[in-house]
């Protein structure tokens, strides 16, 4: 156990010198006595709250609960706000700011007298942003997930975040829904604090944080407004103090095995496609190289057992919690996990899973009756995506698994939007819609445009799916035959930039291929004629972002924030 004089915060508060006098007198300015903070672990409660982050509206209350726990355990807690990165309002896309949150988290920890942190996030990018930054900062940390909101409800029907918005919107565009019904859906689809309650990016990433060993057992599944969530917040406060005394730093938790566990669990939950970029980026902060090929291999062998929308039928995160939550799911697949890994509890994953039970085996399925025999994601390669692309087989109509059709290519979102709304658009269900210039640099920030809307012309004929390809991401609550994350992206000259309307595109999912059937000589001619688009930013965050963001297969972190940055040539790769 650590001696109080070895606390990091003691560097600020202990010495008998003028600077420390200043630090102590400023604490007294806040109304604290020396007994409050001297020789105690100082815990930063990093809260990503804002009045525009609808998913974190319970955080001001939960901060108090965390602080209560910290005080009980003999620590001293300070709340520190961190960039809120809300998913609903942040434009052009919250992904543009994930790395900003990561940098802020890292530097805020580094520059302040903190011995440990409780990270409070949940809305999509906040989980990876906070975790990436805290891994790099290296002080003991514990993640408190916001938890999902309650199920949506309208006219006796259960509504799921995202998924049902898309579904009802398609029906509205097809002319099947009245204004009044549409207003009812609007008021019923999000009706409490908490994150989206389908297995979207938020639920996926909170689950990944738990599977990595970074939350207290079961934390990621508790609905935001459940009083169990209040108690979990206080537990986090109590536990982080012990972690500081034990010097249980993130490098002891986020190991290669922990990252693989997290990826396996993600596959079994029917994870959001966004998990790919985030988990690669998180792992790299810990010096763990997790590749698209690793994820594909796990995807091929891990059955999807969480029967939660959008991959599963009917159920939502609230049901998942009542069915036993993530601990029960991990118990079901424990033979595929390395349960000897250390976690924030100071115990192994195996210890944390003890006693976990499935209470509803239609929601959390046994391995003998999975929702889908393989995992959630597949990685494609081919002459359209030499560095990879992602598809979510469980969320698309199997008739597209092997498909060949003519490309209809759009260079921008507005151009694509105008076309899909054109009732006379010349298009067949066999067409392959393509959107480019929507990647990490092209978007910018790789917006969630990848579930391209089905053209009105096809909707009216009753079609609800078609093959779509882009270098964008898609929302974790989206579905359909959408190939995403094409790398390298078209904006930097990836082969997607060379595709033309009318070219034949071929998807062969069983063989993990995505190709354009255009001969090499013709592609060379097109490459010679290709011109790099104008830079999108001349100043500010966007300027820095565009110079340093990595491609989707690398996790879209900044090159200079990865753990291997600055290594001499010839040194081993991370
Ligand atoms: Fe916050 Fe979906 S908008 S999790
Ligand atoms: Mg989302």
Q: What is the DSSP string of 418-461?
A: HHHT-TT----TT-EEEE-S-STTTTTS--S--SPPPPHHHHTT
- Both 214 and 336 in one domain: the answer is yes
| Dist. CA 162 → ligand 2 center (Å) | 8
DSSP helix, strand, coil percent of the chain (3-state; round to 5):
40, 15, 45
Partners of 74 in the β-ladder = none
pLDDT at 573: 55
- Both 132 and 76 in one domain: the answer is yes
Number of domains in the chain: 3
Position in ligand 1 atom list of the atom nearest CA 161: 2
- Both 457 and 510 in one domain: the answer is yes
Ligand nearest to the CA of 196: 1
* Interatomic CA distance for residues 360 and 339, integer angstroms: 23
Q: Within a domain: residue 6?
A: no
Instruction: Please identify, among 529, 544, 564, the residue that sits at the C-terminal boundary of a domain.
Output: 529
Would the CB of 123 count as within 6 Å of ligand 1?
yes
Would the CB of 55 count as within 6 Å of ligand 1?
yes
pLDDT at 460: 87
* Interatomic CA distance for residues 530 and 497, integer angstroms: 8
Partners of 289 in the β-ladder = none
Position in ligand 1 atom list of the atom nearest CA 53: 1
Q: ipTM of the assembly? A: 0.93
- Both 298 and 432 in one domain: the answer is no
Instruction: Choose among 434, 397, 71: nearest CA to 240.
Output: 71
Position in ligand 1 atom list of the atom nearest CA 88: 3
Q: Find all residues with CB under 8 Å of 524, minimum gap 6, and list them.
A: none
Q: What CATH number does the domain containing 497 carry? A: 3.50.30.80
Contact present, 199 and 306 (Cβ < 8 Å): yes
- Both 95 and 241 in one domain: the answer is yes
- Both 337 and 420 in one domain: the answer is no
Q: Within a domain: residue 462?
A: yes
Q: Within a domain: residue 109?
A: yes
Residue 219: DSSP 8-state: G
15-31 pLDDT, tens per residue? 999 999 999 999 999 99
Residue 372 tokens read as: 């889908």
- Both 166 and 201 in one domain: the answer is no
Structural domain including 453 reads 378-529
Give the DSSP H or E segment for 469.
strand 467-470
Within the chain, how many helices (H) and strands (E) appear? 20, 14
Q: Within a domain: residue 359?
A: no
Ligand nearest to the CA of 197: 1
Protein residues with C-beta less than 5 angstroms from the ion ligand 2: 87, 124, 200-201, 475
Instruction: Choose among 546, 548, 547: nearest CA to 561.
Output: 548
| Dist. CA 97 → ligand 1 center (Å) | 15
- Both 54 and 144 in one domain: the answer is yes
- Both 217 and 345 in one domain: the answer is yes
Mean pLDDT in residue range 224-244: 98
Q: Within a domain: residue 121?
A: yes
Q: Within a domain: residue 34?
A: no
Would the CB of 87 count as within 6 Å of ligand 1?
yes
- Both 306 and 258 in one domain: the answer is yes
pLDDT at 237: 98
Predicted confidence (pLDDT) at residue 442 exceeds the cutoff of 80? yes
Q: Within a domain: residue 3?
A: no
pLDDT at 563: 82
pLDDT at 525: 97
Predicted confidence (pLDDT) at residue 568 exceeds the cutoff of 70? no
Three-state DSSP at 237 gives helix
Q: What CATH number does the domain containing 257 carry? A: 3.40.50.2300
- Both 298 and 413 in one domain: the answer is no
Q: Within a domain: residue 144?
A: yes
pLDDT at 536: 86
Identify each DSSP E strand in 33-98 by its residue range: 42-47, 76-81
- Both 316 and 382 in one domain: the answer is no
User: Cα separations (Å) of 187 from 30, 51, 169, 288, 337?
Assistant: 42, 19, 14, 43, 41
| Dist. CA 154 → ligand 2 center (Å) | 21
Mean pLDDT in residue range 163-189: 90
């Amino acid at each position: 156990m650590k001696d109080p004089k070895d606390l990091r915060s003691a560097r600020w508060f202990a010495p008998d010198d003028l600077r420390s006098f200043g630090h102590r007198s400023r604490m007294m300015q806040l109304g604290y006595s020396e007994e409050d903070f001297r020789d105690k672990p100082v815990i930063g409660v990093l809260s990503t709250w804002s009045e525009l982050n609808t998913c974190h509206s319970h955080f001001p209350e939960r901060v108090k609960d965390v602080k209560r726990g910290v005080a009980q355990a003999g620590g001293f807690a300070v709340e520190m706000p961190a960039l809120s990165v809300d998913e609903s309002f942040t434009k052009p896309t919250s992904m543009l700011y994930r790395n900003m949150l990561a940098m802020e988290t890292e530097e805020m920890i580094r520059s302040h007298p903190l011995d440990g942190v409780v990270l409070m996030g949940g809305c999509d990018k906040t989980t990876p942003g906070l975790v990436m930054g805290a891994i790099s900062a290296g002080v003991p940390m514990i993640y408190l997930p916001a938890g999902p909101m309650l199920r949506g409800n309208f006219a006796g029907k259960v509504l799921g975040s995202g998924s049902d918005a898309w579904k009802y919107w398609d029906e509205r565009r097809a002319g099947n829904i009245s204004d009044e019904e549409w207003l009812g859906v609007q008021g019923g689809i999000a009706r409490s604090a908490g994150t989206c309650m389908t297995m979207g990016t938020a639920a996926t990433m909170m689950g990944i944080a738990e599977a990595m060993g970074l939350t207290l057992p079961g934390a990621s599944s508790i609905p935001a407004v459940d009083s169990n969530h209040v108690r979990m917040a206080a537990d986090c406060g109590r536990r982080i103090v012990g972690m500081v005394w034990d010097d249980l730093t993130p490098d002891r938790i986020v190991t290669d095995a922990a990252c693989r566990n997290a990826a396996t669990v993600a596959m079994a939950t029917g994870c959001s496609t966004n998990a790919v970029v985030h988990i690669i980026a998180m792992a790299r902060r810990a010096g763990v190289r997790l590749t698209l090929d690793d994820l594909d291999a796990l995807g091929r062998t891990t059955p999807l057992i969480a029967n939660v929308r959008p991959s599963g039928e009917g159920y939502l995160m609230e049901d998942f919690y009542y069915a036993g939550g993530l601990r029960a799911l991990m118990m079901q697949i424990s033979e595929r996990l390395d349960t000897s890994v250390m976690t924030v509890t100071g115990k192994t994953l195996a210890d944390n899973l003890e006693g976990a039970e499935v209470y509803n085996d239609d929601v959390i399925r046994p391995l003998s009756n999975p929702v889908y025999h393989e995992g959630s994601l597949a990685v494609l390669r081919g002459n359209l995506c030499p560095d990879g692309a992602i598809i979510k087989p469980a969320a698309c109509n199997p008739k597209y698994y092997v498909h060949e059709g003519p490309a209809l290519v759009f260079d921008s979102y507005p151009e694509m939007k105008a076309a899909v709304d054109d009732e006379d658009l010349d298009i067949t269900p066999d067409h392959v819609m393509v959107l480019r210039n929507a990647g990490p640099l092209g978007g910018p920030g790789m917006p969630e445009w990848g579930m391209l809307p089905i053209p009105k012309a096809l909707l009216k004929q009753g079609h609800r799916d078609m093959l779509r390809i882009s270098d964008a991401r898609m929302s974790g609550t989206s579905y359909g035959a959408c190939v995403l994350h094409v790398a390298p992206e078209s904006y930097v000259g990836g082969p997607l930039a060379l595709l033309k309307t009318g070219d034949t595109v071929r998807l062969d999912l069983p063989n993990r291929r995505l190709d354009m059937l255009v001969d090499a000589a013709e592609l060379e001619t097109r490459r010679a004629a290709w011109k790099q688009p104008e830079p999108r930013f001349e100043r500010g965050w966007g300027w820095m972002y565009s110079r340093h963001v990595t491609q989707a297969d690398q996790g879209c972190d900044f090159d200079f924030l990865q753990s291997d940055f600055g290594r001499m040539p010839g040194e081993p790769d991370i």
